[in-house]
Structure 1
Amino acid sequence: MSFEPKQKVNLDPPKDDPISAEYLSKCNGKNPDYPTYVAIKGTVFDVSGNKMYGPEGSYKIFAGRDASRALAQSSLKEEDCRPDWYDLADEHKKVLNDWHTFFSKRYNVKGKVEGATNT
């Protein structure tokens, strides 16, 4: 996985704002009044500019939730879109860390999921 974007992305300084799970769930790409967010390991990324996370996108399953486990397992299954990942094999944990790095080079960090224990 290449971590560097093809074109330079000017990112805002990462924020550390608490974001409730309830608010995150509203940021699922379906409501134009809310941004589109994906959380990985408790970190909330703003993916609003990427149609892949919108209602018709291939990755819409990840929008509005902490999808750590699904990303670690390269899964698009609803039941895998959850924050817990500690019990995964080391190779899946590496994949998850790679995704976190990939997102952090492309999307603004908006905060942390309130009460997240999977950081």
Structure 2
Amino acid sequence: MPDHVEEPKRFEPKEPVQLDSPKDDPFTLEELSKHDGTDPSRPTYVAIKGTIFDVSKKDAYAPGGQYHVFAGKDASRALAKSSLKKEDCRPEWEDLDDKEKTVLEEWFTFFSKRYNIVGKVVS
């Protein structure tokens, strides 16, 4: 028997994605909010646990898209809770239970395999 269990491939994209090297450009939450998909001259960003992902190529995050509520925000809490409520789209996640923290980690893995990391949220 093997000593370890192989990480499931369920987070792998169906089509291979060529990602750029991660950036750590600093963004305040206010600056991040300007990247909500409503200004066509700016890319659309979603942050998870302070890491900012460029989701511009995915229509679901554009205005009218099913996940637009996350655009321009650190949506950690909402993702952990599997919530599409605007009031849950906030960065606080440390007080969540272990199950929700696991869900959040899974979302982070999912995003990191599909979207370029363009920065970090700073206070």
Question: Same fold judged by TM-score > 0.5?
Answer: yes
Give the gaps of 5 or more residues in structure 1.
none
Q: Which deviates more from structure 2 when the two are superposed, residues 99-108 or residues 13-22?
A: 13-22
Alignment length, in residue pairs?
A: 115
Are positions 1:68 and 2:76 aligned together? yes
Scaled by the length of structure 1, what TM-score is found? 0.94
Separation (CA, whole Å) in 2 of partners of 1:112 and 1:40: 9
RMSD (Å), alpha carbons = 1.0
The residue number in structure 2 matching 1:50 is 58
Are positions 1:97 and 2:97 aligned together? no
Q: Which has the larger radius of gyration?
A: 2
The residue number in structure 2 matching 1:8 is 16
Give the gaps of 5 or more residues in structure 2.
1-8
Q: Show structure 1 runs of 4+ deviating over 3 A.
A: none
User: Which digits, 9 at most, give the CA deviation of each residue in 1:42-92, with x for residues without a partner?
Assistant: 000000000000001000000000000000000000110000011111000
**CA-CA distance at 1:22 after TM superposition:** 1.6
User: Which digits, 9 at most, give the CA deviation of each residue in 1:6-48, with x for residues without a partner?
Assistant: 0100000000111121211010011101110000000000000
